[in-house]
Structure 1
């Protein structure tokens, strides 16, 4: 396993979080959606626009040279500005991305666990996410207690109770 540590996401991590949205979208081997295309999508932009608003929280994984290699964060959305995994106002939706060379090394699980604990400490009752049905990360989410609450168009919304 590669050496990495984690740190809280900071206001100046917005550019890296945008990179992680692109990584999350480009999970499928052999399929690449360019950064400008991904970030032109209004829903993808909602995951990062104005980072770090009140209620936003996250964690960043860094390598031994302190270079960021992955991140997980959550945001609160309103029904009229919802993202893919929206279930209700007041329920944060998480996003997670790991640079391709660093995947399958435990980073995603570590980030997910830290973010779940952060959301619990912040008093949230649930945490949600959205994942494409074929994405191998779906198994990770299930193994960490996320359950499918809605499936539509090849995408699942999953939620985990925190208390």
Structure 2
């Protein structure tokens, strides 16, 4: 195979529209953008001429040699010129289950980063589109938390979207069992140590209230951890387990911990880890999550911005809570 991602041509519409076999799949692909099924090549080209300007939005066709096998769009979703949003992702239905969708998405993301100068790529996918969610996850996207989920009326039902993102710096994913020992390092990095103070000895990890955050992690179903990967290196982690230590509220509320290696701080990775982890826990049905943070820690601002509220002002730290129902 010789894959090429090139600008869309109106003549591509004949092949692309032939892949949409029923209205259910039309709605999964385009929501309410096309009012009627079936969609004709002319319908697609009319939409292209109205909404794809070649600057703020581009349409791309994937070709295998000279055969049209995929289609995707990228657009600037708002005022943030560093973001591009994927849309209208579709591949030849006769060539599915061969990794073609993953190839298309990865090539489009690379194009957004390399040619368009984007630092992040986002997308919305209907939660009933399981194959697409799997494809995007395989291509390095992860779910993120948003204030309000996008939804559409489709076929007499309300379809809700899952928001996903990928960043130019690397990827976020769930930790693997063989990587769990790394949490010992990240637990040490999670201890707030101002730069003008001597570092505490690593023996502090042996204290029961500290070690509780990682003790036999992964053995319980409520143990959840996401990691940040840059250039194939694990550089940060965020994890939670049922209330275990300084941030414990009750036996049914998970407690959060997060840390990055020092050289990767200040790059927005912590915010993105937090958003991903919160989205995951909300999807799993948790009602709330807590954390303990030193009052002088600059991370307090990050937690407040993310939606955490201070519920207890203690001598040295705040007990904060995030309500998933809000």
What is the TM-score of this pair, normalised by structure 2? 0.46
- Report Cα offsets for 1:12-33 as digits up to 9, x if no partner: 2222111111111144213311
Deviation at 1:85, TM superposition (A): 0.5
Q: Distance in 1 between matches of 2:297 and 2:321?
A: 16
Is the partner of 2:183 in helix, strand or coil?
helix
- Report Cα offsets for 1:79-131 as digits up to 9, x if no partner: xxx30101111110010001000001011001100110111011101011110
9-18 or 143-152: bigger deviation: 9-18
Q: Where in structure 1 are there 5+ consecutive unaligned residues?
A: none
Match of 2:245 in 1: 83
Q: In the alignment, does 2:295 pair up with 1:129?
A: no
CA radius of gyration, larger in: 2
Equivalences for residues 112-127 of structure 1 within 5 A = 112-127=274-289
Q: Where in structure 2 are there 5+ consecutive unaligned residues?
A: 1-118, 120-167
Q: Which has the higher contact order (CA 8 A, sep 6+)?
A: 1
- Report Cα offsets for 1:66-90 as digits up to 9, x if no partner: 111000010013xxxx301011111
Q: Distance in 2 between matches of 1:21 and 1:156?
A: 19
Does structure 1 conserve the Cα–Cα contact (< 8 Å) formed by 2:290 and 2:320?
yes
Match of 1:62 in 2: 229
Does structure 2 conserve the Cα–Cα contact (< 8 Å) formed by 1:55 and 1:75?
yes
Does structure 2 conserve the Cα–Cα contact (< 8 Å) formed by 1:25 and 1:38?
no
Moved over 3 A (4+): none
Does structure 1 conserve the Cα–Cα contact (< 8 Å) formed by 2:291 and 2:320?
yes
Match of 2:195 in 1: 29
Q: CA RMSD in A?
A: 1.4
Match of 2:215 in 1: 49
What is the TM-score of this pair, normalised by structure 1? 0.91
